[in-house]
Amino acid sequence: MTFKLSRRTVLAALVAAGLAAGSLAPQARAADDIVLGGSIPLTGVFAFAGEGIHAGIQDWVKMVNEQGGIDGRMLRYVPEDTAYKVDASVAAFNKITGQNAVNLYYADSTAFSKTINPELERNGKILMAGASFATELNDPEKFPLQFIAGPDYTEMFGILLEYVSKEKPGAKVAFVHSDTEFGRDPIASSTERAKTLGLEVVETIVTPPGSVDVSTEVLKLRRARPDYTIFHGYVLAPIPEFINQAKQMGMETKFMGTFWSMDNGIVMKMGEAADGFMGVMPYRYYYDDSEKAPMLEKIRQMRPEYQSTAYLQGMLTAMLMTEAVKRTLADGKELTGPNLKASLNSLKDFDTGGIIGVPVSIPGNSIPVGRIYQADMKQQKMVPVSDWIRLDKAGG
């Protein structure tokens, strides 16, 4: 008897094997696990950060579980790739919350954080934070179950402007931002803030994100002659082009950036001309061993190669979420969104193991703390040039 293997048979066998594999998959989960779901951008335009965030959360979960979990309950991380698309992020949220009793959730974008907010409030069992530092999210009334593991974009500008006003009172400042929600976020409020600090905003330039030809904009900048130029709403392009052209024209303005353009790997890609590029960073860099930072030491032991600032953001977010769970359980309360948020808000002078250089409190939805770092191309490192700057409420 001969057995003929047709294409259809092979296809059917593959489908059957897939289904069997799915049903036979070992399910390493317990009913009382603390579940941290995540819409993580592992592909798409934001993948450079998503990979770091994913690794940071993973490492934190591993550390917690190696120490016996939270109050004996294991922390389980359930990520799903979203390609940085809102519909895929919401699909991931529905899928993960449909299959698990989720307590904590990592969001990949401002748009997703805004979109899912009504569902989050309706669900009432989840505390959420994520990759967005949008000023809009820093409103405990509108977003009662969310928080930002760092300063929001307006606060980042606030920290930069505070530094500038101390270094050069009455300085002239220019803002260069992308024509996106992300880019426009802090501009209007920061223009006001600059005025109150006695600084003069001499130019505000808008460009498409990732634009290449910026010669007209650089000429505009030259005419304005700012002492400081702050970029926002970009990751890399067109910052290097701006800096190169400005230096060629002999401009002496100091260039600055905000969180997503401040990773060591990204700044070093800007090349020699970016020597002296400054910016605000709420976390210590991976290699920073100037002060005692047990968490950074642990990270360096686990991963000997450089880890991005996105990694630290992911880890710190998971750490703060875990602390909220710990405190809620310690108080004998149920793990609901409002209880978790209240526990998070009870953090006062919390030690992040040195990821943030000073003890932090989260009275609202953000941690308005940061430090100014500057690129040192010889060392190929970002080095601190200020102490930690904490914004008071008026400064935020």
Partner 1 sequence: MRIGAAKQTYAADEALFDTTVQRAWLIGLFALLAVFPFMAGPYWVYMACLVAINIASATGLNILTGYTGLVSLGQAAFMGVGAYTVAWLEVNVGTPLPLNLILGGVVAGLAGMVVGVPSLRVKGLYLAIATIAASVILHFVFSHWTAVTGGVSGLTMPPGSLFGLTLDEPHELYWVIVPVTVLMVFGAANLFRTRIGRAFIAIRDRDISAEVLGIRLLRFKLLSFALSSFYAGVAGGLWVYFFRVVTPESFPLVMSIFFLAAIIVGGMGSILGAILGAAFMTMVPEALKLVVGWMSPWVPDAVALLSPVRTIVFGGLIVLFLIFEPQGLAEVWRRVRRFFHLWPFKT
Structure tokens at 395: 């400064």
If one asks whether residue 139 binds partner 1 (CB under 8 A), the answer comes out as no
Indicate whether 179 belongs to the interface with partner 1 (CB under 8 A): yes
Among 139, 167, 181, 275, binds partner 1 (CB under 8 A): 181
The rounded distance, in Å, linking the Cα atoms of 326 and 50 is 26
Ordered DSSP codes for 73-102: BPEEEEEEE-TT-HHHHHHHHHHHHHHS-E
Q: Which of 35, 49, 86, 102 contacts partner 1 by CB under 8 A?
A: 86
Alpha helices in the chain, H assignment, sequence order:
7-24, 47-66, 86-99, 110-123, 153-167, 181-184, 187-196, 215-224, 239-248, 264-269, 294-302, 309-330, 337-345
Per CB under 8 A, the segment of 66-74, 114-122, 362-370, 383-391 that binds partner 1 is: 114-122
83 binds partner 1 (CB under 8 A): yes
In the bound state with partner 1, the residue whose beta carbon lies nearer, of 151 and 183, is 183
> If we measure between CA atoms, which residue out of 154, 155, 185, 191 comes closest to residue 173?
191
Whichever of 37 and 396 has its CB closer to partner 1, that residue is 37
The smaller minimum CB distance to partner 1, of residues 27 and 379, is found at 27
- DSSP 8-state secondary structure symbol assigned to residue 197: T
Nearest Cα residue to 214 out of 257, 181, 249, 180: 249
The piece of 1-9, 35-43, 217-225, 339-347 that touches partner 1 (CB under 8 A) is 35-43
Q: Does 7 bind partner 1 (CB under 8 A)?
A: no
Q: Which of 98, 99, 97, 92 is nearest to 29 (CA)?
A: 99
CB of 379 to partner 1, least distance (A): 30
Q: Give residues with Cβ within 8 angstroms of 296, minimum separation 6.
A: 284, 286, 288, 289, 353, 354, 355
Tell me if 95 contacts partner 1 by CB under 8 A.
Answer: yes
Q: Does 122 bind partner 1 (CB under 8 A)?
A: yes
Judged by the rule CB under 8 A, the positions of this chain that interact with partner 1 are 18, 21-22, 25-26, 28, 40, 42-43, 47, 51, 54-55, 58, 79-81, 83, 86-88, 90-91, 94-95, 97-99, 111, 114-115, 118-119, 122, 136, 179-181, 183-185
